[in-house]
Structure 1
Amino acid sequence: MSSSVLQTAIPILAYCASSITMTLVNKLVLSSFQFHMVFFMLAAQAFGSVALMVLANRVGLNVKYRAMNKRDARTWFPVACSQALMLYTGGKALEYLNVPLFTVFKNLTIIAVAYGEKWVFKAAVTSLMLVSFGMMVMSSMVGA
């Protein structure tokens, strides 16, 4: 297998594994232990992610990020708040829905965002994207 294929495949597989793991762990925590503090759980995960990035950088792994500054903070504050709200509502949904149904809604939001970008930014929705959306919807329906 070539180096470029591995450089592409490894992040994709890591993202898939972490996404599946976090969904299942969050569902376990929110439903099995009667733990209803979704915001606290998400904050702990966010701080843990930042701590892991800083630690990886300090031990010499190739993890790059920019230093915090006011300009970036002002620019990204609305996006960060929207992301936090999306994660919170997703956590609350996961608390009450089963994982397959939650996955259906999560996949539908990806499609909604793509069409929102088309509407707001005039971005193209390509035929390959449509195939991907179809596969996501079909896999969600099979899983549900």
Structure 2
Amino acid sequence: MILLPTDLRRRLLAQGEALGARQVPLLKLFNPLGAATWLASELDADGDTLFGLADLGFGCPELGSFSLAEIEALRLRYGCRIERDRTFSARFPLVVYAEAARRQGRIVERERWLCEAAISLGLDPTQFRANPHG
């Protein structure tokens, strides 16, 4: 599986160039055999450095940069590799996912927890409408 198709690469690069905006995660990668999950909202011009929320399954998700090449190079048991969640569509900015992950100890997508995190950050969760076009 291609982890970063061309259209998604372009969108991540564009968000990486847009300073000051509330970036929404566009990419979710996960370990199909474990707890590791990454949400990426930006891609640097080098084409490898992603910025987002990383959760390696130890109970302490972190915002920061990570290498796409390193993630692609991971080899798991049974011939598995890291996968892209093709159905992932974020509704909230990355900062809301980070706050919800801090509260829950892992990356979460449950609407209630994300709304609570948004409110705790002083954001109105209703301002983030679902985008039917991804």
Same fold, TM exceeding 0.5? no
Structure having the higher strand fraction is 2
- Structure showing greater Rg: 1
Q: Give the structure with the larger helix fraction.
A: 1
TM-score, structure 1 as length reference: 0.27
Larger RCO, structure (CA 8 Å, separation 6 or more):
1
